[in-house]
Amino acid sequence: MIDGIRLTKAPIRWGMVGGGRGSQIGYVHRSAALRDGYFSLLAGAFDLDPDRGRAFGADLGLDPGRCYPDWQAMFAAEAARADGIRCVTIATPNNTHYPITRAALLAGLHVICEKPLTFTTSEALDLQAIAADRGLVVGVAYGYSGHQMIEEAARLVADGTLGEIRIVNLQFAHGFHSAAVEHDNPAARWRVDPAFAGPSYVLGDLATHPLYVAQVICPNLRIRRLLCTRQSFVASRAPLEDNATVLMEYEGGAVGTCWTSAVNAGAMHSQKVRIVGSKGSVEWWDEHPNQLRLEIQGEPARVLDRGMAYLHPQSLADDRIGAGHPEGLFDAWANLHCRFALAIEAHEDKDPARLAGLRYPGIEAGVEGVRWVEHCVRSADGGGVWVDYA
């Protein structure tokens, strides 16, 4: 049960890079971090425009002196304060994730970062090494994984309810960019510009979400090889794709598919994860995240609901309100931030025992997302060929 009583000793002094005026994702980060008192927002470099950033910070109630013109200034100044921030969230375009995260880690800050963590696996591994060396947490914003039914699905796999896992079907395919909306919408423009977005659009922006959800549910699956084709149905987006399909073969014989799209015209999110085992399947849909469909072969399909006593205690640990009441995206993100805070405190206290059983998207998840996209792009650009996964 999450009820507003903080389980850590104190709020984490926290800052943000990006996420300023007009940023929707910035609000999501703040709402999640501040919701249950685990983080305290004290500093920010919110905007490329220093004045606008400072005004925005003031609107949020920050000390104007801690609203910095850029992250370099923030990291330096905060490091010099006894009460400086201990953690920073990075909500900037993709191309800046690597240098800012690297600098933050080198400045001794825990990091919560938007995905993709970097453009290349080697960059991601570099961050992983630095974080490990310094005992810092890097949390990655795979927000959907904070939904309690994902935990329940993981439990059903772990306890053998589904039998041996055979098939993983992933989908995140919306239709909002069926036309070239980026021509009129600056917020969409950088996502289809490789200079800012990196080597992919929908693979990195959308598909890594269900990919991580599947990793949470099936932690033992290892991709052996994959094949990807990608398309730019709005031609001006090339070389970045607005639609892609990935085939995956796992060690041990399981197989997987992933369809991701921004041109699935008329669809909302349609992010769906279906895990098929030898005895049964689970299916989860992010637009109705409080339900999990459990289908055991030969039995009636079951609809599991959030908050019900038949769920695993670990799933119920994230409950905020009685069953029947819908929880949404903001609640899932807030759940993740509780865990980020717990992980940060455990790291600072050098008490790894407290991390046992604390599942959250850390640097490994960030690395894996980058690696997966890298392989997908390599496959696709090679003509849709199989590439070994390593």
Instruction: Return the residues of window 182-241 that contact a second copy according to CB under 8 A.
Output: 227, 229, 231, 233
Bond from prior residue into 116 cis (ω within 30 degrees of 0): yes
Of positions 125, 130, 238, 323, contacts a second copy by CB under 8 A: 323
Burial class (CB in 10 A: 0-12, 13-18, 19+), 180: middle
Judged by CB under 8 A, does residue 4 bind a second copy? yes
- Kindly state the tokens that stand for 268: 């909302």
Subset of 349-378 contacting a second copy (CB under 8 A) = none
Task: Scan residues 14-33 and list those touching a second copy (CB under 8 A).
Answer: 21, 24, 27-28, 30-31
Supply the minimum distance, in Å, between the C-beta of residue 303 and a second copy.
5
Give least dist CB 124 to a second copy, A.
Answer: 26
Stretch that binds a second copy, among 68-76, 110-118, 211-219, 307-315 (CB under 8 A): 307-315
How far apart are alpha carbons 57 and 97 in whole angstroms?
Answer: 21
Q: How far is the CB of 125 from a second copy (least distance, A)?
A: 29
294 touches a second copy by CB under 8 A:
yes
Q: Which residue has the tokens 């709020």?
A: 11
Near a second copy by CB under 8 A: residue from 126, 193, 305, 348: 305
- Indicate whether 6 belongs to the interface with a second copy (CB under 8 A): yes
Q: Is 37 in the site for a second copy (CB under 8 A)?
A: yes
**Interaction between residue 328 and a second copy (CB under 8 A):** yes
Question: Is 32 in contact with 330 (CB distance < 8 Å)?
Answer: yes
- In contact, 374 and 223? CB cutoff 8 Å: no
- The count of residues interacting with a second copy (CB under 8 A) is 86
Cα torsion angle, 156, 247, 203, 379, sign: positive
Structure tokens at 201: 């659009």
Cα 311 from chain centroid? 24
Q: Does 161 bind a second copy (CB under 8 A)?
A: no
Residue type, 7: L
Q: How far is the CB of 264 from a second copy (least distance, A)?
A: 6
48 vs 265, which CB is nearer to a second copy?
A: 265
- Tell me the DSSP string of 320-334: -S-TTSPP-HHHHHH
Shortest spacing between CB 385 and a second copy, in angstroms: 8
Q: Which helix (H) or strand (E) holds 189?
A: helix 186-189
